[in-house]
Structure 1
Amino acid sequence: MPATKVTPLRRTLLRQLSNLRGPHVHRHTSFDVWALGITIVIGGQYFSWNAGLAAGTLSYGISVVLMGVAYLCLTLSMSEMTSMLPFAGGAYGLARCTLGYYVGFLMGCCEAIEYIMYVTCSVVQLGRMLTTRWPDLAKWQFGVWFVVYAVACGGLLVGGKLFWRWNAVLALTSIGVLLVYCVGSAGKVDLAANAGGGAHFVIGGAMSLMKYHPLASWFFVGIEALNTMSNEVHNPKVTIPRGQIACMLTLLVTGASVFVVTIGLPPGMPAVATELMPMNVGFVLLFGVSSSSAALFSVPATFATIQGFILAYANIVSALACSKLLPHGLQRSWRNCDAPVFAIAGGSALSFGLCFVDYYIVGLDGILFNVCMLFACIGYTSQCIGYIYLKKQCVSLSRGFHSPFGIPGAVVSMVVWVFTMVSIIGFQDDHENSLIVALAIVAALTLYYHCFAKYRQTFSEDERRVLFPVHVAILNAAPQTHRALRGQSTSERMVMNFNPSLKKLMFVPTTLHLSTIKSATTMQLHGSKLHEDASQPPEAAPAQECRVADRASSRETPPPRMVRAPTELDLHQSIRKT
């Protein structure tokens, strides 16, 4: 009798339950992306933002409007980039190919640290919400945090259709509670009586506005994390831009509604600026419950924010690990679980440890938030610079979506991020502790990069597949003699200075063969000669002539040479020479 092979029960369950990236499990739509964006961001509209009202309703309202415009322009710009280059590494991928390997590494790490710290702040805040309702939990805060991390990470590891349905329930619940609050409380809003009048329009002048301006980001921060989901959803070039833009428009409406309703309810200004949960008053008036019970209405949205940010930093850490910029083991899954288990566990362990530091050190909440926003603004600025550069130099790359604001929108967004960085660095009453912590983290990352990561890094498969057309377009658009460097624009010189390895390669007169591009990526350069000859076999495709931008000489262009796609060996050679 032949032996019967018995599959272990645990492995069978893992195969059935754990498939976060499996395309055969769930057919993703723009609604899924919209719901994920809501779960990531919406918690920030439930708490913490109200502290900025200490600057006055008008002053803080201006900050909220500026942040809304900046995030809208950033979202539109990044949606255009995703429709062209759906890379799951977030700001790291775009910065690495346009600003250089070192800058790209810093951008990726800063973005991951930003999300890890946001999770820490949200978990501690959730613990305080539950303690408000059940005071006995104050002795077991660490247990509450552990349960929150376990449930959030468990949902991500299960993945598949179950995760996306669970995420949709969280999103609809969070939006539903917000709608009940805004619509139900609308009849009780009295701005004239509760908003403080002229005495509370501006409090403390420009100095106060600069101090509290960063807090307005709570309404929208995290919307950019949807760009890290390119490996999670089907057809990310279409699905992510649609869902991300719809989510941003939804957040603009909900944010404005929450702001107006909250300052219009009693007791109003200035008491609302010091509330732990500013929406409690509305729920107390609507349902007649106690303030401690009303705190439970904010729990679903806060938990949803935690789970969404965990997924975001896990994707970034996994992308960095795939390029060997972080320990390569962090990108691995565990047995039949396709989710980046070690990236999720590693990031969550670090965030969990920070919870103890945040809880027991008075005033650390503000420092963590300032460091988060400083790293966020640096990442946003790098994405705007990358967008402007690619918009000008890579016009031939196909885009499924075009930002209606284009380059001016990215410039406006970048101005707001620089303004926010100035407010964090120079106007916080923390004795520059936030800046010191941020610089210490950057110094540690720099030391790690130049001692270890610089000599181990490589191009991941995602980078070869998605970002190779950018390298092609940059090399084809770049001048091919040192003398031509005089005619470069400011943005070109900036990119060349940040990326010396690209500067070294750009002066080699080369032409990329169609077969090279097709072997490296499925994307094609529309509108170019390569795209026109796409139907010809590789050996029959004529080489495209390179134009030499040498104004000082009228000599004929030397015959072009063929160049292959960049490999890991090229990367190491360029690093050693620079």
Structure 2
Amino acid sequence: MADSPFSTRTAGPQGGPPAAGQPPASADDAYLERRTLRRGSAGVLLLTGLGVAYVVSGDFAGWNFGLAEAGFGGLAIAAVLMGLMYTCLVFAQAEMAAVLPSAGGGYGFARRALGPWGGFLTGTAILIEYVLAPAAICIFIGDYVESLHLFGLESGWPVYLACFVVFIGIHLWGVGEALRFSFIVTGIAVVALLIFAVGAFTEFDASRLNDIPVDTSAFGANSWLPFGLLGIWAAFPFGMWFFLGVEGVPLAAEETKDPARALPKAMALSIGILLVLAVVTFLAATGARGSAAVQDAGNPLVAAIEGDGGATPLSRFVNYAGLAGLVASFFSLIYAGSRQLFALSRAGYLPRFLSLTSKRKAPYLGLIVPGALGFALAAGTGDGARMLNVAVFGATISYALMALSHIVLRKREPHMHRPYRTPGGILTSSVALVLACAALAATFLVDKQAAFIALGVYVVAILYFALYSRHRLVASAPEEEFAALAAAERELERD
């Protein structure tokens, strides 16, 4: 059977092989009943906390390695450009999330705009990000636990296993409980960042910002750009660390009270808070001790305030708060990955059993399966930096496709009812698209191996979709229904 952009088949009530022809409504109802999330669990406040939680660990570490690629001035420019990309992307997403509020998030937007292939490519890229990032952060949690001498534990598989078991267990308990836990831990981390900034700014010296030696062989090199103009581009992935993950807020759409109103407001608040934290953290850390002192530090905020006298009460506090930030991001990224996997599975893009939900309306296999995979990767490799680079590669692909989806929907469906409209319209999403493509290319400058690993995973997923699952999509899944209704409306308009 030749596939049009909307050729779908519907699964039987047990998620088995596709039935011939359209099944009765009761079969669709039975299928979806076993794949239902808890409605109305999140409002604007919890969603805003979720958006900040995805990202907050990136303020504590990771961004500083961009100083070794670009120096203070280069990383500052990269961070501004990446902040612009995320801001434009978030506002474009907010419009689409208000129109298409489903657990698929970015995959659902791309499915409506770009067809099944576009939806699958976007959803797979998002899934790569949200499976790899928790595995990496789990390793960083282990390193923090060991450095803080908590309970005499060392970083290793027992700590990684405890992280996945405990925090997946909270998610299985219920989404409302999980989001409240995330909100509390995120609040602790944000307060700690502000306290750090107050302490660090008392030692601020602008002359320390550009203390990295200049590479005179680099084109355009100077004290502010010690590695030249190319260094700015190489620093894009590190500038992303201040914002990576905030685009995951729409994944909570089906568990949100009044998503058309709550999602745009929460997304705007989240990116606003993250922009402020990025500026404050970046300036405070580099100005307190100098860019050279923190560029290679595993814990740059602590390095910025310890000084030559060793640990201080403030540095110890920030060290413990860094652990809270890691926990907040780890916990929320598990949530995001489970919802993306749930949506792709429910629509038949991935094996359908992965979208089954428990009596508490939690996608238990969508939590356990990626959690087991993440644990295996963490325990088997111990290479958190490499896994984060793979996650960044997947993220940049999804950003480009989501921005393109906004442009296509604005062009193709201009009369669609939009409860929220992106400021700047297509211009805003076009900026996000261009910067996302530039960030994707920059990943090859930083870690070619990670980029090719991500490409390999992507190719395997594409083969699975091309040879198997695209013929077994579930027409009654929300994202498929949105697309089918749009196709029918366009047919009527042509007639």
**TM above 0.5:** yes
Asked whether the equivalents of residues 56 and 201 of structure 1 are also in contact (C-alpha less than 8 Å), the reply is yes
Asked whether the equivalents of residues 313 and 347 of structure 1 are also in contact (C-alpha less than 8 Å), the reply is yes
Query: For the structure 1 residues 65 and 58, does the alpha-carbon distance in structure 2 shift closer, same or farther, using more than 3 Å as the test?
Result: same
> What letter corresponds to residue 286 of structure 2 in structure 1?
I
Asked whether the equivalents of residues 284 and 291 of structure 1 are also in contact (C-alpha less than 8 Å), the reply is yes
Which SS does the other structure have where 1:401 is aligned? Answer: coil
The aligned runs of 1:108-127 (5 Å cut-off) are 108-127=123-142
State TM-score, norm by structure 2: 0.85
- Residue in 2 that maps onto 1:32: 46
The aligned runs of 1:85-234 (5 Å cut-off) are 85-134=100-149, 139=154, 141-193=156-208, 195-196=210-211, 200-234=223-257
> What letter corresponds to residue 76 of structure 1 in structure 2?
F
Question: After superposition, what is the alpha-carbon deviation per residue over 1:509-566, rounded to whole angstroms, capped at 9, x for unaligned?
Answer: xx2xxxxxxxxxxxxxxxxxxxxxxxxxxxxxxxxxx45xxxxxxxxxxxx5xxxxxx
- Residue in 2 that maps onto 1:518: none
- Residue in 2 that maps onto 1:68: 83
Name which structure has the greater RCO, CA cutoff 8 Å, separation 6+. 2
- Residue in 1 that maps onto 2:262: 239
Asked whether the equivalents of residues 20 and 160 of structure 1 are also in contact (C-alpha less than 8 Å), the reply is no
Identity across aligned pairs (percent)? 24
Q: How far apart, CA to CA, are the structure 2 residues paired with 1:94 and 1:125?
A: 33
Q: How far apart, CA to CA, are the structure 1 residues paired with 2:130 and 2:376?
A: 14
- Residue in 2 that maps onto 1:276: 298
Q: How far apart, CA to CA, are the structure 1 residues paired with 2:427 and 2:56?
A: 28
> What letter corresponds to residue 435 of structure 1 in structure 2?
A
Query: For the structure 1 residues 433 and 229, does the alpha-carbon distance in structure 2 shift closer, same or farther, using more than 3 Å as the test?
Result: same
Shift of 1:282: 5.2
Which SS does the other structure have where 1:196 is aligned? Answer: coil
Shift of 1:467: 4.2
Asked whether the equivalents of residues 59 and 201 of structure 1 are also in contact (C-alpha less than 8 Å), the reply is yes
Q: How far apart, CA to CA, are the structure 2 residues paired with 1:352 and 1:86?
A: 31
Q: How far apart, CA to CA, are the structure 2 residues paired with 1:262 and 1:51?
A: 13
Which SS does the other structure have where 1:169 is aligned? Answer: helix
The aligned runs of 1:139-538 (5 Å cut-off) are 139=154, 141-193=156-208, 195-196=210-211, 200-266=223-289, 268-281=290-303, 284=306, 288-289=312-313, 294-334=318-358, 336-359=359-382, 364-425=383-444, 427-428=445-446, 430=447, 432-464=448-480, 466-473=482-489, 475-476=490-491, 511=492
Question: After superposition, what is the alpha-carbon deviation per residue over 1:151-208, rounded to whole angstroms, capped at 9, x for unaligned?
Answer: 2112211125433332221222121111111123222211224542895421221333
Asked whether the equivalents of residues 110 and 376 of structure 1 are also in contact (C-alpha less than 8 Å), the reply is yes
Shift of 1:128: 0.8
Asked whether the equivalents of residues 384 and 413 of structure 1 are also in contact (C-alpha less than 8 Å), the reply is yes
**Structure 1 residue ranges (4+ consecutive) displaced by more than 3 angstroms after TM superposition:** 19-24, 135-140, 197-200, 281-287, 289-294, 364-367, 464-470
> What letter corresponds to residue 335 of structure 2 in structure 1?
L
Query: For the structure 1 residues 140 and 56, does the alpha-carbon distance in structure 2 shift closer, same or farther, using more than 3 Å as the test?
Result: closer
Q: How far apart, CA to CA, are the structure 2 residues paired with 1:372 and 1:62?
A: 22
Which SS does the other structure have where 2:280 is aligned? Answer: helix
Asked whether the equivalents of residues 138 and 378 of structure 2 are also in contact (C-alpha less than 8 Å), the reply is yes
Q: How far apart, CA to CA, are the structure 1 residues paired with 2:362 and 2:282?
A: 37
Q: How far apart, CA to CA, are the structure 1 residues paired with 2:36 and 2:50?
A: 14
Q: How many residue pairs are counted as aligned between the two chains? A: 450
Which SS does the other structure have where 1:339 is aligned? Answer: coil
The one of 24, 41, 47 equivalent to 2:55 is: 41
| Ranges in structure 1 where 5+ consecutive residues have no aligned partner | 1-18, 477-510, 512-545, 548-559, 561-578
The aligned runs of 1:3-18 (5 Å cut-off) are none
| Ranges in structure 2 where 5+ consecutive residues have no aligned partner | 1-34, 215-222
Asked whether the equivalents of residues 71 and 220 of structure 1 are also in contact (C-alpha less than 8 Å), the reply is yes
Which SS does the other structure have where 1:239 is aligned? Answer: helix
Q: How far apart, CA to CA, are the structure 2 residues paired with 1:466 and 1:152?
A: 33
CA RMSD of aligned residues (A): 2.4
Question: After superposition, what is the alpha-carbon deviation per residue over 1:304-323, rounded to whole angstroms, capped at 9, x for unaligned?
Answer: 10111111110011111111
Which SS does the other structure have where 1:56 is aligned? Answer: helix
- Residue in 1 that maps onto 2:64: 50
> What letter corresponds to residue 117 of structure 2 in structure 1?
Y
